[in-house]
Homo-oligomer: A and B are copies of this chain.
């Protein structure tokens, strides 16, 4: 080996080590640019992933942690919200973020407005103990929804197994309403007097059960409500007799006007009963808390959160 070859070799080494050096320095300051924007996108990247918590990016580059159902009906479902009744006795008090925290008040017909604004709250790990809404709610463009009713206080790894019922849509109904609930509710505002019962209700979509079935609805909603709904649907924005607006009717399509006992979330004013229906779970306790008598829902559904997923 000649001297020039030797020199070339040594120079190669020096160069290599300098690059390695700078590489190592850079690495110490590194983090990834961006995460997927939905569980669906994430699942497409990997092909197959377990259910669990994942980090997603919003379009602005901010990140948030949420739960992905990666297995039901092909997976790719992003948890975007949970509706939790923190105090059934509190009528539009602190914690009623899906209706109103301003007490029953005609001057605040949309209440807190959470269904159609970009305010976010809660964390995924506390989604069975508190209301939860993340940027996916208004950012993700989706075709379908799934819904889980999960008993309060359960940990993430218990949600699926112990949920009382779960279902999804599979007709791409969100395509017609702007791809998510934020846009749907912009078109169908959850506002007192924005319409009348039956005539101005928002859309419904048929559902497919993943756990439980339509036959168990009478176990959950009050006995008096059975003539008020058709099972097998998820429905959006329904008015009651007094023109109070309810946001979401899970498992049913309302056919009557006493929707406050089968629908959740709502605007900020409920005329009947001096505001006794104002709150995240509206009139679920009309004939007593968890009694499952008359118009009252069962304790089981009253003490479960309603989780909303997009795909």
Question: A-side interface residues toward B, CB under 8 Å?
Answer: 1, 5-6, 9, 12-13, 16-17, 19-20, 23-24, 26-27, 29-34, 53, 55, 58, 60-62, 65, 86-90, 93-95, 101-103, 105, 107-108, 112-113, 117-120, 122-126, 129-130, 135, 153, 155, 289
Complex Cα distance A60/B118, Å?
Answer: 25
With contact pairs A16-B16, A20-B19, A65-B62 given, residues A153 and B27 touching in the complex (Cβ less than 8 Å): no
Q: Taking CB as reference atom, which chain B residue is nearest A61?
A: B55
Q: Find A61's partner among B53, B94, B117 (CB 8 Å cutoff).
A: B53
Complex Cα distance A138/B118, Å?
Answer: 25
A289: chain B residues within 8 A (beta carbon): 107
The 8 A-B residue pairs with the shortest CB-CB distance in the complex, in nearest-first order: A30-B30, A1-B1, A117-B129, A53-B60, A118-B126, A31-B33, A29-B32, A94-B101
Q: Find A94's partner among B16, B20, B94 (CB 8 Å cutoff).
A: B94
Complex Cα distance A60/B93, Å?
Answer: 32
Provide 25 A-B residue pairs closer than 8 Å at the C-beta atoms, listed in order of the A residue: A1-B5, A16-B17, A16-B20, A27-B30, A29-B32, A29-B33, A31-B33, A32-B33, A53-B60, A53-B61, A60-B124, A86-B102, A89-B105, A93-B102, A94-B102, A107-B289, A117-B130, A117-B153, A118-B123, A118-B129, A118-B155, A119-B130, A120-B125, A120-B126, A125-B135
A95: chain B residues within 8 A (beta carbon): 101-102
Q: How many copies does the complex hold?
A: 3
Q: How far is the CB of A276 from chain B (nearest CB, A)?
A: 14
A17: chain B residues within 8 A (beta carbon): 16
Complex Cα distance A60/B51, Å?
Answer: 13
Complex Cα distance A62/B17, Å?
Answer: 33
Complex Cα distance A58/B55, Å?
Answer: 12
B126 touches A119 (CB 8 A): yes
A26: chain B residues within 8 A (beta carbon): 27, 30
Q: Taking CB as reference atom, which chain B residue is nearest A130?
A: B119
Q: How far is the CB of A70 from chain B (nearest CB, A)?
A: 15
With contact pairs A125-B118, A135-B125 given, residues A29 and B20 touching in the complex (Cβ less than 8 Å): no
B62 touches A90 (CB 8 A): no
Complex Cα distance A217/B54, Å?
Answer: 47
A65: chain B residues within 8 A (beta carbon): 60-62
Complex Cα distance A20/B26, Å?
Answer: 13
Complex Cα distance A247/B5, Å?
Answer: 75
Complex Cα distance A219/B3, Å?
Answer: 84
Contacts beyond the supplied A20-B20, A89-B108, A93-B103: 17 A-B pairs with Cβ under 8 Å: A1-B6, A5-B6, A23-B27, A26-B30, A27-B30, A30-B31, A30-B32, A31-B31, A53-B61, A86-B102, A90-B102, A94-B94, A94-B101, A113-B129, A117-B126, A117-B130, A119-B122
